[in-house]
Structure 1
Amino acid sequence: MKTSLVRDIGILIARLVLGVIFLAHGLQKLTVWGYDGTKAGFEGMGVPAPAISAFVATWVETLGGIALILGVLVPIFGVLLFLVMAGAFFIVHVDNGIYVSDGGFELVAALGAGALLLAAVGAGAFSVDRFLAPKVPFLQNA
Structure 2
Amino acid sequence: MTPINRRDLGLLVLRVGTGAVLAAHGSQKLFGWFGGGGIEATAQAMEAMGFRPGKRSAIAAGLGEAGGGTLLALGLATPAAGAAAAGAMAGAVSVHAPSGFFAQSGGFEYPAFLGFTAASIGLAGAGRYGLDHATHHRLDRPWIVAAAFVGSALAAAAVVGRRVKEQAAAAQAAGDEGLGGI
TM-score by length of structure 2 reads 0.69
Tell me the secondary structure at the aligned position of residue 72 of structure 1: coil
2:126 to 114, 123, 130: 123
1:43 to 47, 54, 59: 47
Residues 82 and 122 in structure 2, CA contact (< 8 A), matched pair in contact too: yes
1:87 to 80, 86, 91: 91
Distance 1:40 1:48 in 2: 10
Match of 2:6 in 1: 6
CA apart distance, 1:135: 4.0
Match of 1:78 in 2: 82
Higher-RCO chain (CA-CA 8 Å, sequence separation at least 6):
1
Q: Deviations over 1:120-142 (max 9, x none)?
A: 10000000000223545607xxx
Q: Deviations over 1:38-79 (max 9, x none)?
A: 001111222243221111111121111211111110111101
CA apart distance, 1:19: 0.6
> Which one has a bigger Cα radius of gyration?
2
Query: How many residues were matched structurally?
Result: 135
Tell me the secondary structure at the aligned position of residue 104 of structure 1: coil
AA in 2 matched with 1:121: A
1:108 to 107, 111, 136: 111
Distance 1:18 1:53 in 2: 22
Residues 75 and 126 in structure 2, CA contact (< 8 A), matched pair in contact too: yes
Unaligned runs of 5+ in 1: none
Distance 1:68 1:137 in 2: 12
Task: State percent identity of aligned pairs.
Answer: 35
Q: Deviations over 1:12-43 (max 9, x none)?
A: 11101101100110111123212110001111
AA in 1 matched with 2:45: G
Match of 1:30 in 2: 30
Distance 1:46 1:135 in 2: 38
TM-score by length of structure 1 reads 0.87
